[in-house]
Structures are given as C-alpha cells and as structure tokens.
Structure 1
C-alpha cells in the first residue's frame, strides 16, 4: 500500500506532504535520463563513422565529451542543488540535457553531435541530486528503498540505452536516438515538477565557490583526458604525461583552496571521516575492477569466434538480449538491496555487492565457454551492481549532514568515473600481454589474468566494507528504522 502523506522535519527543513510512490517514480524517471544518455551512444559510433566519414578517434569524442562534462557536473551540480534547491537544479539539468540532444539533431554533423554530447554531459549531476532529493523529500524509513530503486533504474536504463538505440538505428536513423533522449528528458522534467515537493535552499550554505569550480573543471578534465588517451597514445607519451601532471597540479591547488575556503565547493574534511574515507576507497577499487572494465571483457566473450580461446560466437543481438536480461534481474533485485541497506546499513549492502561481484567473475573464469553460465554471470553481476550502488550512497546518507548529501555523492560519482578510466587502461594492458598470433584477441592466460584482477578487486572491496563499520544509531533512514512500503 502507499504510505499516507506526511510531513517530516529534519536538519534540512520541512518535508512537504507528497505520495512516497510518486516521489520515487519521479526520481527513477530522472535517473533514467542520465543512464540512457550514458549508454545510448556506443552502438551508434560505427554508424557515425560510416555516415560522416570520421575515424574512430573522432567518433570516440562523442563518448569522451560526455564523460568529461559529466565528471565535473556531478560535483558542481550537486553543490548547486545543495545551495539553491535540488528540485530546481534537477529540472534545469534535465532540460539542458534535452537541449544538448536537440543540438546534435539540428547540427546534423559529427562536430554538432560531439558538442551536443558535451551539453548532455550535465546529466552527470542527476544521480547525486536524486540521492539528495530522496533523503530530503521522503520519510526516513523509505530512503533506503528509494536509493535501491534509483540505483536499479540506472542499471536498467543503461542497458536499455544500447537496446533502444539499436532498434532506432535499424528502423529509423541516428537522429531518432537524440530525439528519444530529448523527449525522455522533457517527460522526466514534467514528472519531477509535478511529483517532487518544493526543495528549499539549505540555510547553512551561503554562497557558491566560483574559484573552486573554476579550478575543478580544468583539473578534472585534464586528468580524465590523460587517462582516457593513455591506451591510444601510450602511457609514457609526452601528451599523456603532460595532461595527467597538469590535472594533478591543478587539483592539488584546488584541494588547498577548498580546505581554506569558508564555503567550499566540496568540504574535504567530510571525506576525512573514517567511514567516508573507506567508502571512497572501496568505490574507487571497485571502479578499477569489475564496475568499469568488465564492459570490455563480457562482449568479447560473447561475440568473439568460437575458434579463439575465449569466444562463444554470438551475434550483437544475442549479446544485447543477454545484457538486457541481466539488467532486468538487477532492477528486480534493487528493492531487496534497499531493504538490506535500510535494515543493516549501507556497508552491508555494499559488502554483499562486492561478494556477488567476486562470485560473478569466478563463474566467468570457470564457465566462459558456456552461454548459460555467461547468462548467469550477467545476472549475478547486475544484482551485485544493484547492491553496491545502493550501499555506497546509503553510507553517505548515514555519515554526512543532509544539506551536503548531493555534493558528497557527487564526489564519489566523479571518483568512480576517474578510476573506471584507469581500470579500463589496466585491463586493456592485461588482455594485450599475450595475444593469439595474427589477432588482437587475448590468449587464455591473459584472459585469466584480467578476470583474476576483477576477483582481486572485489575481495579488497569486501574487506574494506568490513572495516567501514556499522552506521551511527542516529543516522537518518539508517538501520534503526524499518523501510516504509512504496506501494
């Protein structure tokens, strides 16, 4: 049944009476915008190369431009939401991402697509804003379940992005991918405006840290760009080393400024808390391993020819269906992850996710020659993602004041993207250490080494979760309160 409307007060101010189910639905729809935009582009890259005569190095910028903007938007957008009201900023971000989609359509060129994707990248702020709104607008007992649903929606929409994009490419043309993204963003904005309660600015935050944002943007962009270009240019190339060094130097100056600023963009002292520090490290290690780089390995297993040491010879359609099935299983598990996080705390959900990641990759190591086993790998991995992506933001909710929830989860989102880029580079090197003569496909020892890396990272995360400890007894929406029903 649906919870009756209620008004709850917390440190962030009054929570207006609204239907819990309506609020959660609006937040799920909003996160679908971000996840769809992140996943929709990959399947279209080869088509862009054909239509515009662009090399892979150029079409790849449709991914890179989005990622670079999204990494900064997660922090800046989260801080603006904490400062000016999360609902207002969430709607603005979604409408701006819709404008980016329309820019790609109207420009009708590879350059316009890249520019539009850069504007779409502001959607990187959506997930931190949704986590903050869940804590701000919902009764404490419903927060964990809402976080689970939001995380599950990210998983489902991300997988659906490639599937829907593929269908639209086959039945229409590439323009319709961006039209669909724009319509989805407008619909989600309308839903947020109607269902979410008013979101007042935080009374404890007084001004926006413009210098912090000015330093963060070029610093994070240079660092991430250097990481993404490492596999192409070579990790010892002057260009890669220059970008990484410049990024680290600027971010060091940014950190010094943030520690001295009375109203910083990010309160780095919050991250000095033991639970938050371990949470950040655990998420970063997870991104180094099974979260990011596994997307290189699983399609390779399914689509490589059976004649190779690693390959099942499946079509792209079958690969998409297997990934879609896994995403559905992960979404179905998301309320369970929310219930676990609500009853036993975020670290328990995160620990369960890490253990399931280890299991999924062990299955992949032992059964990569079997399609049924690989289907199980996708399903277990999706459930692991649902638990981990519910656990880490719940630890934030348990550990920081409500008014900095969005910007703090934004820090973790940015770290996840940065370390995912590093993880992709590491696994690419591991897979290339030994290749089948005359091909770029890895030998069985190289494949085993890469999957062993995933398992090792998963186990390290599990150990870190043990040391995170139990949530404070007074945490809002923590284990002390039973999750409220959404429907």
Structure 2
C-alpha cells in the first residue's frame, strides 16, 4: 500500500511545469507592455533633435507625439474589443507587428513627415495594455492574476521612463534612426516570445458581428475631441477651430453613446460601466488623470532642470534628471508585485486607494521640499510606488466587476479615459504655471508652482475618498447567475456582450 503522504507520480513535476508556465506567461505579458510603454515615452527627448535636423518648428515636431496619442486612444478600445472577440493573443501579436511597421516607416522615410506617419502607425501599440490585462485573466490561474496585473503595471512604469533614457543614449552614441530600430527589434522579440509563451486564447463559438458603425463613430469623435484639447493652448481656447473640434467631437461621441446603448452587439457595452463599482472606478481614473498622472511630466523636469537662480530650479542636467526618473521607475517596478499581492488579497480598490494616497504624499513633499535634491529624489520614488499601486488597482477593479469576455475592451475604456483627461490636465496645469512668471522669463514663480502642485494634491485626495465608496469585491460567482444584495453586486448579465 502506498503512503498517502507521498505525492502521486508526476505531481511535483506537474506543479513545476505549471509554475514555469505561469512565469513564462507573465514574462511575455511584461515584455509586450514594455513595447507599448517604450514607444509612448521614447519620442520626447528626440523632439528638439528633429527640429534641428529637419528645420521644423515645435508645432510640427509635436505631431510625433500627437499622432501616436490620437491613434493609441482609439486602438485601446477597438483593439481590446477585437481581442475579446477573436482571440487576445492573435490581436496582441498583430498590434506589435503593426507598431514594427510604424518604426520601419519612420526609419526608411527619413523625413519629419515620415516620422509623424510612422508614429501614427505605432499608435497600434495602444491596444497592448488592455489586451495584456485580458490575457492575464484568461490564461493564468485566478490566484496569479493580481500578481500579473502588478507586474504589467510596473512594466508600463519602467519602460516608460526607460524609453526616455534609452532614447537619450541612442541619440548621443548613434542617431535618431536607432530609436526606431530599437523599438522595432523590441516589438519583434516581444511578438516571438508571445507566440511561444502564451497559450492559444479562445474565441467564442458563436461570434457576434463586429460593431463597425460604433468603431466608425468612435474614431473621429475621439480624434476631434483629443486634438481640440491638445491644440487649445496653441490656437487659443476660444478659437473657432478649438471649439469646433471639441464640440464636434462631443457631438459625435454623443451619437456613438446612443448607438452603443441601443445596438444588440456594441463595440463597448456601456452597461458594464453602469454598476456603482465601475462608475466610481472610471471617475477615479479620470480625476487622477486630471491631477498627478496627467501633467506631472510638466512640473518635475522643470524643477530638476531650471537654473538655481530661479525660484524653483535645481540646475540638474537632462541626463541627471533622466537618471533620477530611472531610479524611481526601478523602485516602482520592484514594488509592483507587492501591489499585485495587495490587490489580490484586499481588492483593487485598496491598491487604488494606496496609490492615490501616496500621490498626495509625493506632491506634498514637492510643496515643502522642491529646493532640495534629496527630497526630489524621494518624490520620484514615492510617486513611482504610487503609480505601481494605482495602475494595479484600477484594472483589478475591472477584473472584479465585469465578465471575462469583456475585460480587454473595458480596461481599454479606462485607458482611453486616462488619455483624454491627461490631455485636459496638461491644458489646466499649463494655465496654472503661466499665471505668475518670473519677470523677463516664461518660468513660473513659486506661487504658480504651489497652485499646480496643490491641484495635484486635491485630485489625489478626491480619488482616495472615491476609493472608500467603491466597495469590496464580491465573492466570485457565475456571471450568468442573477446578482443579489446591494448595488456593489449589481447584475452583470447585461455586461456580457
């Protein structure tokens, strides 16, 4: 008779194989998100170089940022929906290969126009993050999903900051072409790893029709709205062009909303966002984007690099500023598994709350210590940890709240909202820091800085309060079963697309 305490033959090997498979899946998802985050962050340091090489004004070179942002905001939703319908692994690899094509267009076009066109094609990478969240939920054991979300969110932070640093090094040791070559190689490697490491994802037995009209309405609506917002400071907020774009975009999105609520198989099932938890989660993401995660890239580089003779400057070089940002990103990535554990054990709202609270702490530190380099280094570290928790918390709330088969498109909604409200935040903060400037300069005074950072603190505290009302996640149940209890456990049967 065998000893009952002895594991069955192959049991230990099966567990090791499962652990190894989980590790490879998470690594593949992290690498895929590195493609998206790197491509989003790599371009900023190259803009001045583009202006010199192609004799182009900032209004032209800035399109290398705008083109990517406009396309990424749309593909986050459309790509997420395609992945939910036809298989997330397949759409993920397609998105990365399309972004590779965008890099090739920029390299071989060898002009500012080609770079802008290539950056628009690279915007397909906007679909990667929602697809990665959906793949984590689909391909991993339930107990590992939160950990994977934490790592994916940490990768977004690390690769975003790394993109700035790597691009700077490549500009110094080679030329601008190598930035796009690096992005293309990274995307190809990530595609190969995804093809080998990720399991084949399922598609529905009876596929619904893709909502072509919904996609056709969403794309121009989002593009018009976001473009109007991004051009507000340059063209004037009361100009006919800005008002026309914003009002026109909102009108188109209003028609899109009515269509999505009426069509049987919508691009985005807005009713999935109608529960208390999802509504508050969406509001929380929007408010946080209006505050610290939307416009911090305006404030912190200014503090680090402005001359010490000015009220807010530390006189650091761009390289030192990049290294400080890199230190924070490394710490944030290291903490991301802890954020995942917290989200898994106590729910996404707890991780989101911690992130919001830490954002408030980081900005309070700026208010009292922006003239101290050690304090500013600590600010970057705390803000990076805050980002890791917040970016783990809000997608985990989605995973807790909607059916598995709409995970990617729903997280895509939040990613798009974050993008839109970040653009609004840049406009708001730009006005704040220009209210009071140092005479004969365009640099803000301490009063302008305090106003902007105070805005960040206020938004962070509002999000922390919102998290308290999101409610705890409900015990897992069949999403087709009727819900019981209060609004937190609202019937999700209408959220199934």
Q: SS state of the match for residue 111, structure 1?
A: helix
Provide the residue aligned with 1:212 in structure 2. Answer: 214
Look up the match of 2:372: 370
Alpha-carbon displacement from aligned partner over 1:156-186 (angstroms, at most 9, x marks no partner): 0000001100010011100000000000000
SS in 2 for 1:235: coil
Q: Find the counterpart in structure 2 of residue 193 from structure 1.
A: 195
After TM superposition, give the deviation of residue 203 of structure 1 in Å.
4.0
Per-residue CA deviations over 1:66-118 (Å, capped at 9, x if unaligned) read 00000000000000000100000000000010010001001000000000000
Whether the 8 Å CA contact 1:18–1:196 is kept in 2: the answer is no
- Paired residue for 1:315? 317
Aligned residue in 2 for 1:293: 295
Counterpart of 1:108 in structure 2 is 110
Give the TM-score normalised by structure 2: 0.92
Equivalence map 1:392-411=2 (5 Å): 392-411=394-413
CA contact (8 A) 1:398 1:475 kept: no
1:107-256 to structure 2, matched below 5 A, reads 107-203=109-205, 205-256=207-258
Distance in 2 (CA, whole Å) between partners of 1:401 and 1:353 is 25
How many angstroms apart in 2 are the aligned matches of 1:196 and 1:140? Answer: 16
Contact 1:292/1:421 (CA < 8 Å) preserved in 2? Answer: yes
State the partner residue of 2:57: 55
Whether contact under 8 Å (1:397, 1:475) holds in the other structure is: no
* Residue 445 to residue 48, structure 1, CA distance change in 2 (3 Å): same
Q: What does the per-residue CA deviation read over 1:183-222, in whole Å, with 9 as the maximum and x for residues that have no partner?
A: 0000000000000000111346512100000000000000
Counterpart Cα distance in 2 of 1:203 and 1:295: 45
Question: Which whole-Å CA distance do the structure 1 matches of 2:415 and 2:441 have between them?
Answer: 36
Contact 1:3 1:19 in 2 (8 A): no
- Unpaired runs of 5+ residues, structure 1, are 7-16, 477-487
CA shift for structure 1 position 273: 0.6
> What residue in structure 2 maps to residue 433 of structure 1?
435
Alpha-carbon shift at residue 475 of structure 1 (Å): 6.3
* Residues 398 and 471, structure 1, Cα contact 8 Å, conserved in 2: yes
> Whole-Å Cα distance in 2 between the matches of residues 438 and 370 of structure 1?
25
Q: Does 1:38 align with 2:40?
A: yes
Alignment partners' CA distance in 1, 2:477 and 2:117: 42
* Deviation by residue 1:232-257 (Cα, 9 ceiling, x = unmatched): 11111111000000000000000000
CA deviations over 1:122-181 (Å, ceiling 9, x no partner): 000000000000000000000000000000000000000011000100111000000000
Q: 1:4: how far off?
A: 3.8
Does residue 262 in structure 1 map to residue 234 in structure 2? no
Is 2:470 aligned against 1:468? yes
Cα deviation per residue 1:428-480 (whole Å; 9 max; x = unaligned)?
1110111111011111111111000000000000000000000011169xxxx
SS at match of 1:406: helix
Q: Tell me, what secondary structure is at the counterpart of 1:269?
A: helix
Deviation at 1:299, TM superposition (A): 0.2
Q: Does the C-alpha gap of structure 1 residues 204 and 461 become closer, same or farther in structure 2, counting only changes over 3 Å? A: farther
Q: How does 1:302-341 map to 2 (within 5 A)?
A: 302-341=304-343
Change (3 A) 1:119 1:309: same
Q: Residue 349 in 1 paired to residue 357 in 2?
A: no
Q: Within 2, Cα distance between the matches of 1:120 and 1:203?
A: 32
* C-alpha separation in 2, matches of 1:5 and 1:407: 31
What is the match of residue 74 of structure 1?
A: 76
Could you list the runs of 5+ residues in structure 2 that have no partner in the other structure?
Answer: 1-11, 479-497
Distance 2:140 2:97 in 1: 24
User: Deviation of residue 231 (structure 1)?
Assistant: 1.1
User: For residues 204 and 15 of structure 2, what CA distance do their matches in structure 1 show?
Assistant: 26
For the pair shown, the structure with the greater C-alpha radius of gyration is: 2
In 2, Cα distance between equivalents of 1:118 and 1:297? 27
- Where does structure 1 differ by over 6 angstroms across 4 or more consecutive aligned residues? none
CA distance in 1, matches of 2:257, 2:289: 22
**1:314/1:81 CA distance change after superposition, 3 Å:** same
